[in-house]
Structure 1
């Protein structure tokens, strides 16, 4: 049985993130629920032992609790954050991924700016008409959060000898994830031409689906690669 998103909790988490966004420096990059969710997924699939607070420190700085504490919302935020963290962990349960590798277990928080969403945002005054063309593509913010976590922990992710089989596997999976954020243009078309057969129609949703499967594969990849040194050490001790 696939894990389910607690949508009420996701809405609480997104609302409380607005408190942090309002308190942030106006020049600071925007951190959305999508960005945070992508970062949390990367922490759970990668080789680094981390918790959800590590994502908050990386995205908002170590003083991030202060605005929430001032409004007596810190406990509520931490409850919502940990619930989402546990949901992600359940979706990445290795047993489920191994037993049914063709099934999509992940349920990411990805905002899709469809026409109804755009109309609602315009009606609410949240979005100005001149900004419509600058809205990020579906999945872009989530992937940017994921890839930021990979970059922040680069020394732990990039541990394989260049051109080795694990290094090539890792690069291919990460490229599949990063491709979601590629803008329309030659680089995106070159990736699609190399990664897909000519008769496959590739749109943003195809790229997202493949990226999420790569995230699931990354979970199993790091479990396997992380166990390898211990096995080698055990063999040495037995010898």
Structure 2
């Protein structure tokens, strides 16, 4: 059973992130909540004992607290950020995953870009009109955040020999997540042909579901490895 998201907390987290977006330089790309959520999930899944502030430092730079302090909402932000972190950790609780590995427990924060959401993002300055026309498919920004965390901790994540059984398993799980962000084209088609049966109907929703299962499997993968875990 998927873990429920506290929607009030999620909405407040998104609103506070908009303060950071508004304070960013004009040439800086806004970081959506999806990307942050993917990064947080990778930290919980991964081989390194981590804290949610690491995601903020990596995505927003170490000076990110200043804009929130100016609005006197930094403490509130840390509270809602930790609540989301705890939701992810609860969803990826190892005993529950081990007891029923076929159960989907992880519920990502994926922005639904309906017309009302698009209008809100435009009015808040989070995205420009040009960016709205090029909005990514559902799950792309979440997967990009997850894979950025992997890249930022490349040494720890790729500690296994690439041709070892563990290395090959790790590569397959990470490919399932990276596939969500693959654009339509030859690379995506080649991945689907290799990873799925010919008669399978594979769309973005299927790729995203399989990426979430892969994230759950990664939690158990690192549990069974020798590295420290986020207990």
TM-score, scaled to structure 1: 0.89
Name the counterpart of 1:57. 57
Name the counterpart of 1:23. 23
- Residues 142-162 of structure 1 show CA distances to partners (whole Å, capped at 9, x for unaligned) of 000000000000010011112
Distance verdict in 2 for CA 1:14–1:122, change over 3 Å: closer
Whether 1:202 aligns to 2:202 is yes
Detail structure 1 runs of 4+ shifted over 2 Å in the superposition: 118-133
Whether the 8 Å CA contact 1:43–1:51 is kept in 2: the answer is yes
Task: Report the CA distance between 1:122 and its aligned residue.
Answer: 4.0
Task: Report the CA distance between 1:27 and its aligned residue.
Answer: 1.7
| Unaligned runs of at least 5 residues, structure 2 | none
Name the counterpart of 2:115. 118
Task: Report the CA distance between 1:102 and its aligned residue.
Answer: 0.8
- Residues 158-196 of structure 1 show CA distances to partners (whole Å, capped at 9, x for unaligned) of 111120110000000000000000000111111111111
Name the counterpart of 1:231. none
Whether 1:33 aligns to 2:33 is yes
Q: How does 1:50-199 map to 2 (within 5 A)?
A: 50-113=50-113, 117-118=114-115, 121-122=118-119, 126=123, 131-199=131-199
2:120 & 2:150 partners in 1: Cα distance?
Answer: 37
How many residue pairs get matched? 225
Task: Report the CA distance between 1:30 and its aligned residue.
Answer: 2.1
1:132 & 1:101 partners in 2: Cα distance?
Answer: 37
Name the counterpart of 2:211. 211
Task: Report the CA distance between 1:133 and its aligned residue.
Answer: 3.7
Higher helix share: 1
| Unaligned runs of at least 5 residues, structure 1 | 229-239
TM-score, scaled to structure 2: 0.92
Give me the CA root mean square deviation: 1.8
Q: Which has the bigger relative contact order, CA under 8 A and spacing at least 6?
A: 2
